[in-house]
Homo-oligomer: A and B are copies of this chain.
Amino acid sequence: MDPARPLDALNAARNKKVIVELKNGRQYTGTLKAFDIHINTVLDDAEERVEGEITRKLGTLFIRGDTIIIISPA
């Protein structure tokens, strides 16, 4: 797929495992379930990592978009 718009790339990752990194240095991995134009994002089976170590398992996770730096396939 050749995404014309950035949200097309997120759409292609829907229901797949992604890494989300936040401005505070935390990293969440999980299945990308939903996102919107603010990049508010919902992950399923989310795991939190701080400096590479799993610190919590969170199940469903809502992340406010303005705290996100990058989203990438896991």
- A contacts, CB < 8 Å to B: 2-10, 12-13, 22-24, 28, 33-36, 39-42, 46, 58-73
Contacts and interface: CB of A to CB of B under 8 A. Distances in A.
A30 to B, nearest CB: 11
A13 to B, nearest CB: 8
Nearest to A69: B67
Contacts of A69: 22, 24, 63-64, 67
Contact of A73 (B8, B41, B59, B70): B59
B6 A42 contact: yes
Contacts of A64: 39, 65-66, 68-70
Contacts of A33: 2-3, 9
